A and B are shown apart, each in its own frame.
Chain A
């Protein structure tokens, strides 16, 4: 956690997101309020109302229009931002594919929240994980500091000419979005220097150079476009790592190799694989009770650092994934992704923390026990559930 100091403010995760957008000096924002993301929209509105951020704010009538408006603005050649959660992200679903298909470097914050039914405003990862195949880069944060830092990095990653893909910065609703933590606020000028000017090269609506964006692509070319997206996503691995290193040089903070963060893995007998704020609890359990356990925190869920994870989890006593969502009728998504890269490693699967159910230290200990007992390898073990 960030130490208190002169440039440190105690802020919640939503404020950290809004502050990052202000520091980057985004040009057009379109967003629609939804719990637990709402304060981002409010903070940004305040920044603009007070003259602290010179940006156009479009008060759209839905999330579908929020993402559509930022697609339009991004294609016109400006830096854009939007934010949502849960049902709002689901409503955007269709346009998410189009944003990546048009190769627009949009950055979106998502305060993770469960999907209805039953309607539930609390955290899990069912909203963002369900969007994993939309060709958006997905970066999951563990702390409010990481939210701010990751949004700044996201613009560099998205706009990189080897990538040109949209980025979703995901953080746990309430656990981070509404919880106060000390966050070091980097210098505005240095942030702007770090992200640089946005100069669209491949795609821009400009009467001086007319361009047709979003045409019909038939069976003769559709696959080529999709393969190029695949290649861009693969190149993003390198770029994410590069930006993480450069960020470290500029601001003194980094997050693992940018895709995966390891904690106490070197000599660990057991490995827990998880995403988001639950990783803080896992670290606490390791520090307090289980020095024999290591954590692999998946920061980049897309592109998925499968090869790296496969290397780390070789030759352990046990490995367990904690999914905060499920793929009904199959194994949970994080487990499936890990196993795809490590078919020979026995990996246990647990599901925990759906719809805001707390994932307490004792729940992490239960997940570790599932690995110790070699359970959960062909069916997920549900942690702390009463049916």
Chain B
């Protein structure tokens, strides 16, 4: 981080108290902590079942300094819809409603509720903390698991080579719902993330932010390396930082020189089984995706 010029001061106030039970180096907990700084105290948070819910609220303790509710796994967007309309009925529309939901609770089991919330246009900031598998139950693949990643349900063997399907492109699906503000982010780029949350908060209607959150036990790297792994994801183009405001696409960060994907892959256990050919294939996929994003950027 030392070489990067801070673009925006990070608010000092902590709304996620220390002492929660998340793993050391948890990218998702860092995501929540940073997002809450941008959301502020006048916020009601809805969380779906998952890592963040489980680690932050072991009764009678709570890490949440803002009002918080958890109902079930697949319905955070529906619960948030109810909270938002209740605030409207109470004439308290100044309060921000935010959702924190993992990739499983967003792209898989929570997909329908999120689609409904987006289509109905509820004024909710929906933040997906994406650690690319069901980490709370012990690293099973989700629709957001990237190709070739080994998980406990997509192990690498003689027949299977890890996850064999592409990662579900949830931000694009949200753009196609007509969601007025859609963005991707990564915990390694806190100013970018905070700025996006602030924009989401100011958006009239639904906003969706998909945050890549490296997971030490799930991805297989040392807990001190979370931010570095995030940076590598962004610098290799494995994860792209962009926003789509009212349908207009914009890259919010462009690596000076894209690093080879191998630098990202070789640091994680979940990709240890990859052959040279497979790494080359992933490189090709990333190159193609990058070209597509460059095209979108040029079209602006």
Contacts and interface: CB of A to CB of B under 8 A. Distances in A.
A26 to B, nearest CB: 9
B57 A215 contact: yes
A210 B65 contact: yes
Contacts of B88: 56
A66 B120 CA distance: 13
Nearest to B67: A205
A124 B86 CA distance: 34
Nearest to B96: A207
A28 B58 contact: no
Nearest to B21: A216
Which one of A71, A78, A98, A212 has the highest number of Cβ atoms from chain B below 10 Å of its Cβ? Answer: A212
Interface residues of B, number: 43
Interface in B71-89: 71-72, 74-75, 77-83, 85-89
A112 interface: no
A59 B78 CA distance: 11
A221 B120 CA distance: 38
A66 B113 CA distance: 10
Given A58-B82, A62-B116, A210 B59 contact: no
A49 to B, nearest CB: 16
A103 B280 CA distance: 55
A15 B54 CA distance: 43
B90 A214 contact: no
A80 B43 CA distance: 22
B153 interface: no
B283 interface: no
B67 A207 contact: yes
A210 B58 contact: no
Interface string A34-77: 00000000000000000000011011111011101111111111
A210 B89 contact: no
Contacts of A77: 86, 90
A83 to B, nearest CB: 15
A183 B65 CA distance: 50
A209 B67 CA distance: 7
Which one of A78, A102, A217 has the highest number of Cβ atoms from chain B below 10 Å of its Cβ? Answer: A78
A64 B89 contact: no
B82 A30 contact: yes
B112 interface: yes
Contacts of A71: 71, 79, 82
A68 B83 CA distance: 10
A73 B77 CA distance: 12
A75 B83 CA distance: 8
B84 to A, nearest CB: 8
A218 B112 CA distance: 30
Interface in A10-46: 27-28, 30
B52 to A, nearest CB: 11
Query: 8 nearest interchain CB pairs?
Result: A72-B82, A69-B82, A61-B116, A76-B86, A215-B57, A65-B78, A68-B78, A68-B75
Interface of A: 27-28, 30, 55-56, 58-62, 64-66, 68-78, 80, 94-95, 98, 102, 205-207, 209-218, 221
19 contacts: A27-B90, A28-B85, A60-B116, A64-B74, A64-B78, A65-B75, A65-B78, A68-B72, A68-B113, A71-B71, A72-B86, A73-B89, A77-B86, A80-B86, A98-B71, A212-B64, A215-B59, A215-B60, A218-B58
Given A62-B113, A78-B86, A98-B71, 12 more contacts: A59-B120, A64-B74, A64-B78, A72-B80, A75-B69, A76-B86, A76-B90, A210-B64, A210-B66, A215-B60, A215-B62, A221-B59
